[in-house]
Chain A
Amino acid sequence: MHGFSVVLTPYNLVLMFVGVFLGIIVGVLPGLGGANGVAILLPLTFSMPPTSAIVMLSCIYWGALFGGAITSILFNIPGEPWSVATTFDGYPMAQQGKAGEALTASFTASFFGALVAIIMITFIAPAVANFALQFGPPEFFAVYFLTFCSFIGMGKEPPFKILVAMMLGFALAAVGIDIVTGQLRLTFGFTELLRGFNFLIAVIGLFGIGEILLSMEEGLSFTGKTAKLNMKIVFETWAKLPRFWGTAIRSTIIGCWLGITPGGATPASFMAYGIAKRTSKNGAKFGTGELEGVVAPEIANNSAGTSALLPMLALGIPGSPTAAVLLGGLLIWGLQPGPLLFVEQKDFVWGLIASMYLGNIASLILVLTCVPFFAAILKIPFSIIAPVIVVICAVGAFTVNNAMGDIWYMLVFGVVGYAFKKLDYPLAPLVLALVLGDAAESAFRQSMLISQGDVRVFFSNTLVGSITGLALLALFWPLIARLIARGKARLAQ
């Protein structure tokens, strides 16, 4: 309750609505996603008090989570990767003239998923943080290790591509001055490289410019449905929704689970859709415009997106690229995310959690009232949107360090992002590694110092041993799963 009193100042409430509004725009526009929307706006918040800044930034995040659905349903263009599954049934519904229903269902589902995840964060996060207070460097490294291993083991891209993408992130993070010895690393004598690579530049380039290049190649032309959304449709749809309680519960669990372990919102939405299809009575009709097919992925992606913030706050390990950007923001404001945050910055943590509740309510209100407006944004032709987004990205990249060189890096990252996306190299592990690289490295080196270079320190007690073991299990999971399948096949013969 204390948190609400921190957040409920008129200034913060205005920021909240501004944030949600910007977030929805960011979510609706192709080429601007939650991660780089937050990245571009981060420098603007440096002058604000940290609590207000994080309120605004997290609201951009909520807005983007909600906004992705609008384009998926009306235009069959997922504004965000996690709303791809929403197009399967959302767009057919829009074609049948039931766009209003689909939108209402998706917004309500988003709201529900996020709400459950926030409630979970409220109760579990302090406990996790408390537990994590006992962590030393080996434990922290083990947790980082688990994070990265589960990316490799659970990602749907080829494991070696994930490995390369992730390690490139680590390598980029290592450029610049070594935090322990003060030596220059990988600068090759260029003074421009002394600063190292800022992850914000990478995010803006990889996601923003890369996406523009992709959309441009496809020669996007918007041919969308218009939506009329009045209160009658909203209430009628709400009356139908309670029927899907089973799907709702399953999708929420999938979402929360994949959000905490860094699976992220995208796989969560696909998995929820798949499971709903298998378990629903109308499963066979999925893909032709079933309301349930909109509800399942939307609940899952929002609960995943929200619960991704739990490990970020409690352990300092973000569960998604956008959470990684928020984490970077915390570091810039001088707040060290992790268990101590709950002890030292109570106001901030509970303010943030309270803002999640309020931000979601604000999002729901805004999306329900402003759909025609946001749909109108999409009517702006791509040949206007594209250069404007490039300009916004350039401005965002410049303001991070006030450096012209960063704008060039942004373009290079854009080309890399374009190529990587086309070739199925995942971008999320790259960004996470870039953000966490220094922290993971110092945890590793401190552990090595403690143990005098003995790797067995990562198995020295039950806690660290079980985390490391879990990490190795996650890392080799694709192999293990294959072996199990082969064993079963042999038994069956």
Chain B
Amino acid sequence: MSEQGPRTSAESGISLRSAELVVALLTLAVGLTVAIASYKLGARWGSDGPQAGYFPFYIGLFICIGSVANFVACLRVRDGAKPRFFVEWQGLKRVAAVLLPAMVYVAGIYLVGIYVSSMFYIAAFMLILGKYRIWKSVAVGFGVSFVLFLMFEIWFQVLLPKGAYNVLGFVGH
């Protein structure tokens, strides 16, 4: 799905190989956790049929087998003359520029609720990453939040989180 096109820039980044190996190790860890936890729960044949851990135990085992196979397959592949990258630092920076604010945004929902947090998130994103003027950013942020508010609180009557400090208390919601 993600065929890497020929990279023209001579930048550096995380190599594809190390990313493959790390992911294989992570899935192996998940597999082991699942298998061990299921084994403790009882992965045998009880008096009334298979125990609760029976099915997940084998699932965990399969994850381990697959992970080991992926790990080995990656080790056996010789990297050609030019190393391929999982992500270049430039790209990683851009990814972090979305991911980190998104985490702040989700944390913000706890404090001021989803509508206010969304407004700030969109506005800040446009302002800082998109280099838009401040009035434009605030307008879009407010507009999107306002439409969401109309849709959920008023039309569909689905209540979204308002946060610990309900700033919107004055509108009666």
Contact = CB atoms under 8 A, between A and B. Distances in A.
Interface of A: 43-44, 47, 81, 158, 160-161, 163-164, 167-168, 170-171, 174, 178, 180-181, 183, 185-186, 188, 209, 212-214, 216-219, 381, 383-384, 386-388, 390-391, 394-395, 398-399, 404, 407-408, 411, 414-415, 418-426, 441, 444-445, 448-449, 453
A237 B140 CA distance: 40
Contact of B70 (A158, A174, A411, A453): A158
A174 B130 contact: no
A421 B92 CA distance: 15
B106 A411 contact: yes
Contacts of B59: 167, 170-171, 174
Contact of A387 (B27, B66, B126, B152): B126
A404 B110 contact: yes
B95 A423 contact: no
Given A387-B121, A411-B103, 18 more contacts: A158-B70, A164-B70, A168-B63, A171-B59, A171-B63, A186-B34, A186-B56, A216-B97, A219-B94, A386-B98, A391-B122, A411-B99, A411-B106, A423-B23, A424-B2, A441-B55, A448-B49, A453-B45
B99 A213 contact: yes
27 contacts: A160-B69, A163-B62, A164-B70, A170-B56, A171-B63, A183-B41, A185-B37, A185-B38, A185-B52, A185-B56, A186-B34, A188-B37, A216-B95, A217-B87, A217-B94, A387-B126, A388-B144, A391-B105, A391-B148, A394-B114, A395-B148, A399-B160, A404-B109, A404-B161, A422-B87, A445-B50, A449-B49
A390 B87 contact: no
Interface of B: 1-2, 16, 19-20, 23, 27, 30-31, 34, 37-38, 41, 45, 49-56, 59-60, 62-63, 65-67, 69-70, 73, 86-87, 91-92, 94-95, 97-99, 101-103, 105-106, 109-110, 114, 118, 121-122, 125-126, 129-130, 132, 140, 144, 148, 152, 156-158, 160-161
Nearest to B35: A171
B39 to A, nearest CB: 12
A43 B152 CA distance: 11
A178 B49 contact: no
B66 A167 contact: yes
A382 to B, nearest CB: 8
A214 B2 contact: yes
A448 B105 contact: no
A33 to B, nearest CB: 13
Given A168-B30, A168-B63, A174-B59, A387 B122 contact: yes
Contact of B125 (A44, A164, A219, A387): A387
Interface core residue of A43, A167, A408, A444 (most chain B CB under 10 Å)? A167
B160 A395 contact: yes
A213 B98 contact: yes
Nearest to B110: A404
